[in-house]
Amino acid sequence: MQGKFITLEGGEGVGKSTQARRIKEELGRRGIEVVLVREPGGTPLAEEIRRLLKDYADDAPNARAELLLFLASRAQLVENVVKPALAAGKWVVCDRFSDSTIAYQGYGRGLDVDAIRRLDAFARGGLSPDLTLLFTVDAQEALRRRRGREIATATSADRFESAGDDFHARLERGFDAIAAAEPERVKRIDASGSPDDVWAKVAKEIFDLRFFDF
Ligand code: TMP
């Protein structure tokens, strides 16, 4: 049986990675093998692309180059890791996927959203998530968390985390539009509580509402 593909989406500092690990643990307890990946990244080449995207300051990619680098990372991850895992009956949980590209490169950077959709469909070779959890916090809380992360890591934030507040507001609009257009696939999770509060909402979505046939 083909496995299921779950993606986690949202702005910066909404706690997706913590929830991704808990999903893996809980599915594991139910005997389901889960492959946890993140984008950009997840293969040696894709991790190298991630490094270029995050830290390469000397000749930082312009908006279109940036888009194509994210899509190159996606093509490599989907073909080499995600599709084989799903075919082997494993489930894949991916921290960010195509919706981030629409939100960040489309709404954030202002590239044409229809063009992004076409290029993205090519990059992911037709693979679509079975379920997407969209983590949201209000603008004030999001700002507080971003600032907290900068202090906690004692490093300067990367290019996206340090983008202006306007940029982050556009991202939210992008994610809202995606969720409104595809309510069956995209479920909103209010991520403003503690990790345990948020986990209760995630677990409800995946296990209680029986999105999947366990
Ligand atoms: P993260 O692992 O800390 O979430 O870092 C990934 C960064 O890359 C984050 O700022 C979102 C951004 N991003 C895009 O701009 N476009 C994309 O397609 C993806 C997957 C991520």
157-182 pLDDT, tens digit per residue, is: 567 776 788 898 999 999 999 999 99
For residues 18-29, average pLDDT: 96
Report pLDDT digits (tens) over 79-107.
Answer: 999 999 999 999 999 999 999 999 999 99
**Class (C level, CATH) for 5-208:** alpha beta
Task: Give the residue, out of 66, 132, 160, 178, with the most ligand 1 atoms within 8 A of its beta carbon, to mutate for a pocket test.
Answer: 160
- Of ligand 1's listed atoms, the one at least distance from the Cα of 98 is 18
Report pLDDT digits (tens) over 57-83.
Answer: 889 899 999 999 999 999 999 999 999
Strands (E), the chain: 5-10, 34-38, 91-95, 131-136, 186-190
Q: How confident is the model at residue 210 (pLDDT cuts 50, 70, 90)?
A: low
Tell me how far the alpha carbon of residue 205 lies from the centroid of ligand 1, in angstroms. Answer: 24
- What's the pTM value of the predicted model, to 2 decimals? 0.93
What whole-number distance in Å separates Cα of residue 144 and Cα of residue 11? 13
Give ∠ CA 25-94-123 in degrees, rounded to 5.
Answer: 160
pLDDT of residue 14: 87
Q: Which residues line ligand 1 (CB under 6 A)?
A: 12, 38-40, 70, 96, 100-101, 104-105, 160
Q: Which of 178, 170, 201 is CA-nearest to residue 105?
A: 170
- Of ligand 1's listed atoms, the one at least distance from the Cα of 71 is 18
What whole-number distance in Å separates Cα of residue 157 and Cα of residue 92? 28
pLDDT of residue 13: 82
Question: Could you give the percent of the chain with pLDDT greater than 70?
Answer: 93
Tell me how far the alpha carbon of residue 208 lies from the centroid of ligand 1, in angstroms. Answer: 30
- Of ligand 1's listed atoms, the one at least distance from the Cα of 70 is 18
Q: Tell me which of 2 and 211 has the higher pLDDT.
A: 2
* Per-domain residue ranges of the chain: 5-208
